[in-house]
Amino acid sequence: MSGIEPQTVAVGIDDVTAAARRLEDIAVRTPLLESPALNARVGGRVFLKAETLQRVGAFKFRGAYNRLSQLDAEARTRGVVAFSSGNHAQGVALAARALGMPALIVMPSDAPRVKLEATRSYGAEVRLYDRARESREAIAAEIAKERGAVVVPAFDDPDVIAGQGTVGLEIVAQTRELGVRIDRLLCPVGGGGLLAGIAVAMTTLAPGARLFGVEPEAFDDTRRSLEAGTRVGAPPGPRSLCDALESPMPGELTFPILKRRLAGVLTVDDDAVAEAMRYAFRELKLVVEPGGVAALAALLAGKAALDAAPETAPDSATVVVLSGGNVDPELFARILTR
C-alpha cells in the first residue's frame, strides 16, 4: 500500500460482500457456539465465533485468499511475499498453494514452531530473520524487488480487510438465524485488519451493536491511538504472551475505520490470557492461542460486564471472536499445568 494515502482508500460493505462471494466454498463458515456454563459464569448470553476452526486455524486465510485471488496471471507467476509471526504466514501460504502460485514468507526466528512448520507444510518458502536486529519490511521489500513478487500486507490492505470482514457477515447472519440481537462484540486487535473488516460489516448490518477491541496491556497501541485521536505506538516494554497481537501501531488504513466505529478498547494481562486458555480447554473443549483468546480473557476477567442475564434478555447477546488456535504445544502444556 505504499504511496496510497489512507483517506483515498475506502473499504465498504460492497467490498466485504464481494469477498464473501470469492470465499464461498473456499473458506469455512465457522460456527457460532454457545455454552450454558459460560453464560452462567459471566451472567449473560454469549456466543463464540470459532475462527480457530477456520482453514489454517485462524481468520487470516480469509483476507489472504481474497487478496491473492484477484491477482492476474502474470502476477501469479511471479508469486507473493509476506511477513508474519505465524497466522498471516499460514494464510498466505495456503491461499497461494490453492491458487497455484509461489509464496515466500519472512518470519521471525523465534516464531512458534507450530506456525513455522505449518507455513512450510503449505508449500511456502520461509526466510527467517532476527526481530531484534533486522527489519522484516525491508527484507520483504528487497525480495519482492528481486523477484517481481507482490507483497501481501498482514492487515493494511483493502482486500485483506474486506476478506476479514466476512467474519462479521457470518456473525450477523448466524445471530439472525437464531433470532438473537447483538448487543456487543469483543474481538482481539493487533494491526486491526480483522476488527476493521468486522466493523465495516456490522455497522452496516447490525448498527446497534457496540464493538470493542481487546489487546495486551503491554501493546495497547490501539487504545492509546483512540485516546490521542491519531496513530501512536505503545512504549517499549516486555514481550506479550499474545505474540499475534504485538503490532507496534494500528494500520494506516485500519485505524480510521476503528476510530469511527469502535465503542472502546479493553486490555488484558498475560495471567488473564493464560486463564482464558485454560478455561476454553477445560470448559469449552477448545484449543485457542494466546492472541486468539484475548477477547474471552477480557470477558472472564470482568473487563466487559454484561447488562443482563440470559433469562431476562434472551434475545440479546455478546459475541466473542476467538481469532486463532495455533498455539505451540509446549507452551500450551505449560499453561495448562501452571
- Annotated catalytic residues are 60, 323
How many angstroms separate the CA atoms of 287 and 241, rounded? 15
Interhelix angle for 60-68 vs 87-99, to 10°? 40
Question: CB under 8 Å to 316, separation ≥6 — which residues?
Answer: 45, 180, 181, 183, 307, 308
How many angstroms separate the CA atoms of 294 and 161, rounded? 20
How many angstroms separate the CA atoms of 180 and 318, rounded? 10
Return the residue matching grid coordinates 466493523.
Answer: 199
How many angstroms separate the CA atoms of 81 and 314, rounded? 47
Is 157 in contact with 253 (CB distance < 8 Å)? yes
How many angstroms separate the CA atoms of 134 and 148, rounded? 22
Query: Length of the chain in residues, anyone?
Result: 338
User: What angle (nearest 5°) sits at the alpha carbon of residue 206, between those of residues 273 and 302?
Assistant: 25
Residue 25, number of CB atoms within 10 A of its CB = 6
* DSSP H or E run through 184: strand 181-188
* DSSP H or E run through 308: none
How many angstroms separate the CA atoms of 89 and 120, rounded? 9
Is 180 in contact with 28 (CB distance < 8 Å)? no
How many angstroms separate the CA atoms of 133 and 264, rounded? 34
How many angstroms separate the CA atoms of 92 and 224, rounded? 30
